[in-house]
Protein backbone atom coordinates (compact mmCIF):
# COMPACT_ATOMS: atom_id res chain seq x y z
CA UNK A 1 0.00 0.00 0.00
CA UNK A 2 1.55 3.26 -1.14
CA UNK A 3 0.56 5.37 1.88
CA UNK A 4 2.23 2.88 4.25
CA UNK A 5 5.49 3.06 2.30
CA UNK A 6 5.31 6.87 2.38
CA UNK A 7 4.77 6.81 6.14
CA UNK A 8 7.77 4.51 6.59
CA UNK A 9 9.97 6.97 4.68
CA UNK A 10 8.83 9.83 6.92
CA UNK A 11 9.50 7.82 10.10
CA UNK A 12 13.01 7.00 8.93
CA UNK A 13 13.69 10.68 8.21
CA UNK A 14 12.59 11.44 11.77
CA UNK A 15 15.10 9.04 13.30
CA UNK A 16 13.00 5.92 13.71
CA UNK A 17 14.75 2.66 12.89
CA UNK A 18 12.86 -0.21 11.29
CA UNK A 19 13.79 -3.63 12.60
CA UNK A 20 11.50 -5.46 10.19
CA UNK A 21 8.84 -4.60 7.65
CA UNK A 22 6.68 -2.68 10.11
CA UNK A 23 8.33 -3.02 13.54
CA UNK A 24 10.49 -0.09 14.61
CA UNK A 25 12.43 1.36 17.54
CA UNK A 26 13.65 4.77 18.64
CA UNK A 27 15.61 5.47 21.84
CA UNK A 28 13.83 8.19 23.76
CA UNK A 29 15.06 11.52 25.14
CA UNK A 30 15.37 10.11 28.65
CA UNK A 31 17.63 7.23 27.63
CA UNK A 32 20.06 9.71 26.15
CA UNK A 33 19.76 12.06 29.14
CA UNK A 34 20.41 9.16 31.49
CA UNK A 35 23.58 8.24 29.62
CA UNK A 36 25.13 11.71 29.57
CA UNK A 37 24.18 12.48 33.19
CA UNK A 38 25.37 9.09 34.50
CA UNK A 39 21.84 8.17 35.52
CA UNK A 40 21.07 11.36 37.46
CA UNK A 41 18.35 12.44 35.04
CA UNK A 42 15.87 9.76 34.11
CA UNK A 43 12.33 8.98 33.02
CA UNK A 44 9.37 8.99 35.41
CA UNK A 45 9.11 5.21 34.89
CA UNK A 46 12.38 4.88 36.77
CA UNK A 47 11.19 7.17 39.56
CA UNK A 48 7.82 5.44 39.90
CA UNK A 49 8.54 1.80 39.09
CA UNK A 50 12.32 1.34 39.13
CA UNK A 51 12.70 0.90 35.36
CA UNK A 52 16.28 1.98 34.43
CA UNK A 53 15.99 4.55 31.64
CA UNK A 54 19.31 3.61 30.04
CA UNK A 55 18.24 -0.03 29.69
CA UNK A 56 14.87 0.61 28.07
CA UNK A 57 14.05 -0.53 24.53
CA UNK A 58 11.20 1.57 23.14
CA UNK A 59 9.49 -0.05 20.18
CA UNK A 60 6.30 -0.92 18.36
CA UNK A 61 5.44 -3.96 16.23
CA UNK A 62 3.31 -1.82 13.88
CA UNK A 63 2.88 1.73 12.58
CA UNK A 64 -0.88 1.28 12.10
CA UNK A 65 -3.41 2.77 14.51
CA UNK A 66 -7.17 2.77 15.07
CA UNK A 67 -7.16 6.43 16.17
CA UNK A 68 -5.83 9.79 15.01
CA UNK A 69 -5.46 11.56 18.35
CA UNK A 70 -4.94 15.30 18.04
CA UNK A 71 -2.32 15.29 20.81
CA UNK A 72 -0.26 12.38 19.44
CA UNK A 73 3.32 13.51 18.83
CA UNK A 74 3.83 10.88 16.12
CA UNK A 75 3.36 11.99 12.54
CA UNK A 76 0.02 11.01 10.99
CA UNK A 77 -0.91 10.50 7.36
CA UNK A 78 -3.20 13.53 7.31
CA UNK A 79 -0.32 15.73 8.52
CA UNK A 80 1.38 14.94 5.22
CA UNK A 81 -1.70 15.32 3.05
CA UNK A 82 -2.07 11.53 2.77
CA UNK A 83 -5.23 9.48 3.28
CA UNK A 84 -5.07 6.37 5.48
CA UNK A 85 -8.55 5.74 6.81
CA UNK A 86 -8.15 2.07 7.63
CA UNK A 87 -5.63 0.35 9.88
CA UNK A 88 -4.93 -2.86 8.02
CA UNK A 89 -1.39 -4.13 7.56
CA UNK A 90 -0.63 -7.67 6.45
CA UNK A 91 2.47 -9.82 6.62
CA UNK A 92 3.64 -8.83 10.09
CA UNK A 93 7.14 -9.46 11.44
CA UNK A 94 8.06 -12.53 13.48
CA UNK A 95 8.16 -11.91 17.28
CA UNK A 96 11.59 -13.49 17.68
CA UNK A 97 13.00 -11.33 14.88
CA UNK A 98 11.54 -8.17 16.43
CA UNK A 99 13.27 -8.86 19.75
CA UNK A 100 16.67 -9.85 18.35
CA UNK A 101 16.73 -7.13 15.68
CA UNK A 102 15.59 -4.60 18.28
CA UNK A 103 18.48 -5.41 20.60
CA UNK A 104 21.01 -5.26 17.75
CA UNK A 105 19.65 -1.97 16.43
CA UNK A 106 19.66 -0.44 19.91
CA UNK A 107 23.35 -1.34 20.24
CA UNK A 108 24.10 0.16 16.84
CA UNK A 109 22.35 3.41 17.69
CA UNK A 110 24.02 3.74 21.09
CA UNK A 111 27.50 2.84 19.86
CA UNK A 112 27.98 6.49 18.93
CA UNK A 113 28.14 7.32 22.65
CA UNK A 114 31.42 5.42 23.05
CA UNK A 115 33.49 8.51 22.33
CA UNK A 116 31.42 10.82 24.52
CA UNK A 117 33.44 11.85 27.62
CA UNK A 118 30.22 12.50 29.56
CA UNK A 119 29.16 8.85 29.32
CA UNK A 120 30.31 6.29 31.87
CA UNK A 121 31.60 3.15 30.12
CA UNK A 122 29.93 0.81 32.61
CA UNK A 123 26.54 2.49 32.21
CA UNK A 124 26.89 2.38 28.43
CA UNK A 125 27.73 -1.30 28.56
CA UNK A 126 24.52 -1.86 30.53
CA UNK A 127 22.59 0.17 27.93
CA UNK A 128 23.80 -2.26 25.25
CA UNK A 129 21.88 -4.95 27.15
CA UNK A 130 18.30 -3.64 27.54
CA UNK A 131 16.14 -5.30 30.18
CA UNK A 132 12.91 -3.37 29.72
CA UNK A 133 10.66 -3.26 26.66
CA UNK A 134 8.26 -0.33 26.31
CA UNK A 135 5.80 -1.50 23.66
CA UNK A 136 4.33 1.91 22.98
CA UNK A 137 6.35 3.81 20.39
CA UNK A 138 4.06 4.23 17.37
CA UNK A 139 0.59 3.07 16.37
CA UNK A 140 -1.60 0.63 18.29
CA UNK A 141 0.48 -2.41 19.35
CA UNK A 142 -2.51 -4.72 19.90
CA UNK A 143 -3.16 -4.56 16.14
CA UNK A 144 -0.11 -6.83 15.95
CA UNK A 145 -1.77 -10.27 15.97
CA UNK A 146 1.06 -11.95 17.92
CA UNK A 147 1.38 -9.44 20.75
CA UNK A 148 1.33 -12.12 23.47
CA UNK A 149 4.06 -14.07 21.67
CA UNK A 150 6.13 -10.88 21.40
CA UNK A 151 5.89 -10.26 25.15
CA UNK A 152 6.86 -13.88 25.83
CA UNK A 153 9.85 -13.55 23.46
CA UNK A 154 11.16 -10.55 25.40
CA UNK A 155 11.01 -12.50 28.66
CA UNK A 156 12.65 -15.48 26.98
CA UNK A 157 15.59 -13.29 25.95
CA UNK A 158 16.26 -12.04 29.46
CA UNK A 159 14.10 -8.92 29.67
CA UNK A 160 12.93 -8.40 33.23
CA UNK A 161 9.93 -6.19 32.43
CA UNK A 162 7.61 -5.29 29.58
CA UNK A 163 5.07 -2.45 29.48
CA UNK A 164 2.23 -2.68 26.98
CA UNK A 165 0.40 0.57 26.19
CA UNK A 166 -2.89 0.33 24.30
CA UNK A 167 -5.67 2.71 23.33
CA UNK A 168 -8.13 -0.01 24.29
CA UNK A 169 -9.92 -0.30 20.96
CA UNK A 170 -9.14 -4.01 20.63
CA UNK A 171 -10.49 -5.61 23.83
CA UNK A 172 -10.44 -9.02 22.14
CA UNK A 173 -6.65 -8.79 21.83
CA UNK A 174 -6.36 -8.17 25.58
CA UNK A 175 -8.83 -10.95 26.43
CA UNK A 176 -6.89 -13.49 24.38
CA UNK A 177 -3.33 -12.43 25.22
CA UNK A 178 -1.19 -15.50 25.90
CA UNK A 179 1.47 -13.82 28.02
CA UNK A 180 0.79 -10.84 30.26
CA UNK A 181 3.12 -7.84 30.28
CA UNK A 182 4.73 -6.70 33.54
CA UNK A 183 2.35 -3.72 33.48
CA UNK A 184 -0.62 -2.95 31.24
CA UNK A 185 -1.61 0.59 30.28
CA UNK A 186 -4.94 1.61 28.77
CA UNK A 187 -5.29 5.21 27.57
CA UNK A 188 -8.39 7.11 28.64
CA UNK A 189 -8.17 10.57 27.13
CA UNK A 190 -11.79 11.66 27.49
CA UNK A 191 -14.47 11.55 30.18
CA UNK A 192 -17.22 10.77 27.67
CA UNK A 193 -17.84 9.68 24.10
CA UNK A 194 -18.45 13.15 22.72
CA UNK A 195 -15.01 14.43 23.77
CA UNK A 196 -13.42 11.11 22.80
CA UNK A 197 -14.65 11.37 19.21
CA UNK A 198 -13.41 14.94 18.83
CA UNK A 199 -10.03 14.46 20.49
CA UNK A 200 -9.09 10.87 19.63
CA UNK A 201 -10.78 10.78 16.22
CA UNK A 202 -11.27 6.99 16.04
CA UNK A 203 -11.15 5.25 12.67
CA UNK A 204 -13.70 2.74 13.93
CA UNK A 205 -17.31 3.63 14.67
CA UNK A 206 -17.51 1.86 18.05
CA UNK A 207 -14.16 2.96 19.47
CA UNK A 208 -15.62 4.30 22.72
CA UNK A 209 -17.61 1.12 23.32
CA UNK A 210 -14.51 -0.97 22.71
CA UNK A 211 -12.42 1.20 25.04
CA UNK A 212 -15.00 0.75 27.80
CA UNK A 213 -14.88 -3.03 27.24
CA UNK A 214 -11.08 -3.02 27.59
CA UNK A 215 -11.33 -1.09 30.85
CA UNK A 216 -13.89 -3.56 32.17
CA UNK A 217 -11.49 -6.50 31.75
CA UNK A 218 -8.56 -4.87 33.57
CA UNK A 219 -9.52 -6.79 36.68
CA UNK A 220 -8.82 -10.09 34.92
CA UNK A 221 -5.08 -9.27 34.70
CA UNK A 222 -2.73 -10.35 37.46
CA UNK A 223 -0.11 -7.71 36.56
CA UNK A 224 -0.41 -4.08 37.71
CA UNK A 225 -2.77 -2.09 35.49
CA UNK A 226 -2.76 1.61 34.66
CA UNK A 227 -5.31 4.01 33.26
CA UNK A 228 -3.33 6.77 31.56
CA UNK A 229 -5.08 10.11 31.14
CA UNK A 230 -3.36 12.55 28.80
CA UNK A 231 -4.62 16.07 29.47
CA UNK A 232 -5.05 18.57 26.63
CA UNK A 233 -5.87 22.08 27.77
CA UNK A 234 -9.13 23.32 26.29
CA UNK A 235 -10.20 19.80 25.31
CA UNK A 236 -10.50 17.23 28.08
CA UNK A 237 -9.71 18.97 31.39
CA UNK A 238 -13.32 18.89 32.54
CA UNK A 239 -15.84 16.57 34.19
CA UNK A 240 -13.46 14.90 36.68
CA UNK A 241 -16.41 13.01 38.17
CA UNK A 242 -17.01 11.30 34.80
CA UNK A 243 -13.40 10.11 34.70
CA UNK A 244 -13.86 8.92 38.29
CA UNK A 245 -16.91 6.82 37.44
CA UNK A 246 -14.95 5.01 34.72
CA UNK A 247 -12.02 4.49 37.08
CA UNK A 248 -14.32 3.17 39.82
CA UNK A 249 -15.61 0.50 37.45
CA UNK A 250 -12.19 -0.49 36.07
CA UNK A 251 -10.33 -0.45 39.41
CA UNK A 252 -6.80 -0.10 37.97
CA UNK A 253 -3.75 -0.36 40.19
CA UNK A 254 -2.72 3.15 39.16
CA UNK A 255 -3.98 6.21 37.34
CA UNK A 256 -1.31 8.25 35.59
CA UNK A 257 -2.42 11.78 34.76
CA UNK A 258 0.01 13.53 32.43
CA UNK A 259 0.25 16.55 30.17
CA UNK A 260 0.01 16.31 26.42
CA UNK A 261 3.40 17.55 25.25
CA UNK A 262 3.82 19.97 22.38
CA UNK A 263 6.18 17.82 20.35
CA UNK A 264 6.48 16.43 16.84
CA UNK A 265 3.27 16.00 14.90
CA UNK A 266 1.06 17.36 17.66
CA UNK A 267 2.36 20.86 16.88
CA UNK A 268 0.72 20.60 13.46
CA UNK A 269 -2.68 20.00 15.07
CA UNK A 270 -2.67 21.87 18.38
CA UNK A 271 -1.23 25.18 19.61
CA UNK A 272 1.44 25.15 22.31
CA UNK A 273 -1.14 26.57 24.73
CA UNK A 274 -2.83 23.14 24.69
CA UNK A 275 0.04 21.76 26.80
CA UNK A 276 -0.92 22.20 30.48
CA UNK A 277 1.63 23.12 33.12
CA UNK A 278 2.50 20.62 35.82
CA UNK A 279 0.52 22.48 38.47
CA UNK A 280 -2.54 22.37 36.21
CA UNK A 281 -2.10 18.63 35.65
CA UNK A 282 -1.72 18.08 39.38
CA UNK A 283 -4.76 20.19 40.30
CA UNK A 284 -7.07 18.48 37.82
CA UNK A 285 -5.62 15.03 38.48
CA UNK A 286 -6.24 15.38 42.19
CA UNK A 287 -9.88 16.27 41.47
CA UNK A 288 -10.16 12.96 39.63
CA UNK A 289 -8.36 11.18 42.47
CA UNK A 290 -10.62 12.69 45.11
CA UNK A 291 -13.75 11.69 43.20
CA UNK A 292 -12.43 8.14 42.66
CA UNK A 293 -10.84 7.73 46.13
CA UNK A 294 -7.33 7.45 44.64
CA UNK A 295 -4.47 9.20 46.43
CA UNK A 296 -1.47 11.07 45.04
CA UNK A 297 1.52 8.79 45.69
CA UNK A 298 4.18 10.27 43.39
CA UNK A 299 4.84 12.88 40.72
CA UNK A 300 7.51 13.89 38.22
CA UNK A 301 7.49 17.62 37.61
CA UNK A 302 9.84 17.52 34.61
CA UNK A 303 7.51 15.07 32.83
CA UNK A 304 4.33 16.85 33.99
CA UNK A 305 2.81 13.69 35.40
CA UNK A 306 1.25 12.55 38.67
CA UNK A 307 0.60 9.03 39.94
CA UNK A 308 -2.62 8.14 41.74
CA UNK A 309 -3.33 4.86 43.50
CA UNK A 310 -5.01 3.21 46.45
CA UNK A 311 -1.58 1.81 47.31
CA UNK A 312 0.65 3.79 49.66
CA UNK A 313 3.55 3.70 47.19
CA UNK A 314 4.18 2.28 43.70
CA UNK A 315 5.45 -1.26 43.25
CA UNK A 316 9.10 -1.31 42.18
CA UNK A 317 9.28 -3.81 39.31
CA UNK A 318 13.10 -3.92 39.07
68 part of a folded domain: yes
Domain tally, the chain? 1
Domain housing 182: 2-309
316 part of a folded domain: no
* Lowest mean pLDDT, pick from 67-81, 99-113, 137-151, 166-180: 67-81
Q: pLDDT band for 303, please (50, 70, 90 cuts).
A: very high
- Compute the average pLDDT of residues 66-90: 90
Judged against a pLDDT cut of 90, whether residue 210 lies above it is answered with: yes
Query: Which pLDDT value is given to residue 99?
Result: 98
Q: Model confidence over 10-55: pLDDT tens digits? A: 999 999 999 999 999 999 999 999 999 999 999 999 999 999 999 9
318 part of a folded domain: no
317 part of a folded domain: no
315 part of a folded domain: no
- Compute the average pLDDT of residues 223-230: 98
Residue 157's domain is classified under what CATH number? Answer: 3.20.20.70
The pTM of this model reads: 0.96
Q: Model confidence over 56-69: pLDDT tens digits? A: 999 999 999 999 99
143 part of a folded domain: yes
Query: Which pLDDT value is given to residue 265?
Result: 86
Query: Which pLDDT value is given to residue 209?
Result: 98
Judged against a pLDDT cut of 80, whether residue 220 lies above it is answered with: yes
267 part of a folded domain: yes
59 part of a folded domain: yes
Q: Model confidence over 231-244: pLDDT tens digits? A: 999 999 999 999 99
Q: Is 251 left (phi over 0), alpha (psi -120 to 50) or beta?
A: left
Average pLDDT, the chain: 96
- Compute the average pLDDT of residues 177-190: 98
Q: pLDDT band for 206, please (50, 70, 90 cuts).
A: very high
Query: Which pLDDT value is given to residue 85?
Result: 85
Amino acid sequence: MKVIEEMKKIYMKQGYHFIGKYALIKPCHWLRRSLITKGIQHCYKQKFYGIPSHRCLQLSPTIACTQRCLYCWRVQAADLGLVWNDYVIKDYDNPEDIVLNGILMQRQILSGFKGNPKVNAEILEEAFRPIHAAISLVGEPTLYPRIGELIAAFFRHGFKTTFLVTNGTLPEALSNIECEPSQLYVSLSAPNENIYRKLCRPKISDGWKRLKESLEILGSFSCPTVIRITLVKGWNMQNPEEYAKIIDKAEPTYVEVKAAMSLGGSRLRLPIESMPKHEEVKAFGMKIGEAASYNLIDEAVESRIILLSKLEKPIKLI
